[in-house]
Amino acid sequence: MRYTRVSVDGAPVWGRVEGDDVHLLSGSPVDGDPSVTGSVPAATAVWLPVVVPPVFYAVGMNYRRHIEHARALGDPNGVVPVRPEVGYRANNALTGHNAPIVKPDGVEGRFEAEPELVAVIGRTLRNATYEEAREAVLGWTIGNDVSARTWQHQDRTFWRSKNSDTFKPMGPWIETDVDALAQTTTLRVNGELRAEFATGDMVFDPYDYIVEITRHNTMHPGDVLWMGAESTCQVEPGDTVEVGISGIGVLSNPVLAETGRP
């Protein structure tokens, strides 16, 4: 099953994607079993982030090749983690499939995209076992972790380098029937393949993180967990970035320069 959120007459509506249509739903599949209330063509749908999470968890440095790349650039965090540690991102950074990634005027240096698997939590969890963590994942979606690297190194936190508006495209839907860790992740810019890697080739898998998180924090339906990337890629205004994960779909976003800033 593929669940998503679309804008209908300016309001967010949950939907179920089937073929060329998005069947509109009476409520959220996270909360129950909603009924179909209508449909819109998928080709003309206005796609929203697939969920607005109560908590937006994000993993960094979870693929060995990414860690080696960071170490080569002199990043002190370029070491293989010994336990699953998670960070947080801001909901204001979320945007949907086909929506623009806006590069702010003040960004200089590397402006990069990272293709990521995203787990969407479907039930309340505390002190979860590994098996309970597996059962708690409602489904999987795709994220593009956009980063302004100069800001990342200038600031004490990631508040603007990772969390500026539009820096976290997520979508186009939640796929509930896929072995996400057996897939292949790709990153294309203007149709050209820039990265390809085994999605599941992680240091710690999503369930390891869920077990560790729930030792301290209660996870709730709708929480998301972004799983990191093996590779990154420079992008610029005028580019179109496509993040694909086999068995799930393709998340596509144009990159625009900021205009009309007050």
For 132-162, write each residue's pLDDT tens digit: 999 999 999 999 999 999 999 999 999 999 9
Q: How many CA atoms lie within 13 A of 113 on its CB side?
A: 33
In angstroms, rounded to a whole number, what is the distance separating the alpha carbons of residues 17 and 102?
Answer: 27
Q: Which helix (H) or strand (E) holds 154?
A: helix 149-154
Q: How confident is the model at residue 23 (pLDDT cuts 50, 70, 90)?
A: very high
Torsion of Cα atoms, 117 then 145 then 59 then 246, to 10°: 10
The H-or-E segment that residue 5 falls in is: strand 2-8
Query: Are 1 and 48 spatial neighbours (Cβ–Cβ below 8 Å)?
Result: no
Q: Over 60: is that where the pLDDT of 262 sits?
A: no
pLDDT digits (tens, 9 = 90+) for 165-211: 999 999 999 999 999 999 999 999 999 999 999 999 999 999 999 99
Say what the pLDDT of residue 154 is.
94
Quick check: 64 and 231 in contact, CB under 8 A? Answer: no
Q: Percent of the chain scored above 70 by pLDDT?
A: 96
Query: How far from chain centre, in Å, is Cα 20?
Result: 23
Residues 6+ apart with CB under 8 A from 3: 14, 15, 16, 17, 25, 29, 50, 139, 173, 174, 176
Q: What is the mean pLDDT of residues 53-81?
A: 83
Q: Is 171 left (phi over 0), alpha (psi -120 to 50) or beta?
A: left
Looking at the predicted structure, is the pLDDT value of residue 4 above 70?
A: yes
Rg of the Cα trace of the chain? Answer: 18
Q: In 3D, which of 226, 216, 173 has the Cα closest to residue 60?
A: 226
